[in-house]
Structure 1
Amino acid sequence: MPASPNLVPASVTAVSGLATVMAGAPWWGVIICLVLVLATTSVQTLFPQDSPDRLTWWTNHRAHRHLRRTQQQQDTPTRPPA
């Protein structure tokens, strides 16, 4: 199984290239772009990238949602037919 690529060098390269291109941009534009780059990198780091891990994560997620839905249906009182 191939190892997941390290996203830090790609992020640093992207941020430095972005800063070079946006040298004349307003400060808030640079901050927004940096936040977007960091958010994307964080999401890719937090969620598993390998297929078996991703499959396990989605299987657990669906089981959890099904369990919550079942519990919510049991907790709601049923009305007698009118």
Structure 2
Amino acid sequence: MALTPNLIPASVTAVSGLATVMAGAPWWGVVICLVLTLAATSVQTLFPQDSPDRLTWWTNRRTHRHLRRTRQQQNTPPTPPA
């Protein structure tokens, strides 16, 4: 399966940057808009968007958390009776 680039975040970045510059926003306003847009793009890239991949990701996460919880309970020393 070939990965196709998602052009929507790139176009949103370009349009938001252009709109803020044209509106006379300060440079830091433009930078904030770009950083927020890039952060949203990164989240979409890092987390799978296809349904079978998403199911696999959540299943692996749930298994990992269960194993961590089990190991922590095994490593916890027993509490003395009061």
TM-score bracket, shorter-length normalisation? 0.7 to 0.9
Equivalent residue runs for 1:2-17 within 5 Å: 6-7=5-6, 9-17=7-15
Identify which of 17, 20, 25 aligns with 2:18. Answer: 20
The CA distance in 1 between the partners of 2:10 and 2:60, in whole Å, is: 33
Q: How many residues align?
A: 79
Is the contact made by 1:4 and 1:49 (CA closer than 8 Å) also made in structure 2? no
Deviation string, structure 1 residues 11-51 (Cα, Å, up to 9, x no partner): 22111211221011111111111011011111101111111
Of structures 1 and 2, the one scoring higher in RCO (CA 8 A, sep 6+) is 1
Q: Give the TM-score normalised by the residue count of structure 1.
A: 0.86
Identity of aligned residues (%): 65
- Structure 1 segments, 4+ long, off by >6 Å, are none
Q: Runs of 5+ in structure 2 lacking a partner?
A: none
TM-score, structure 2 normalization: 0.86
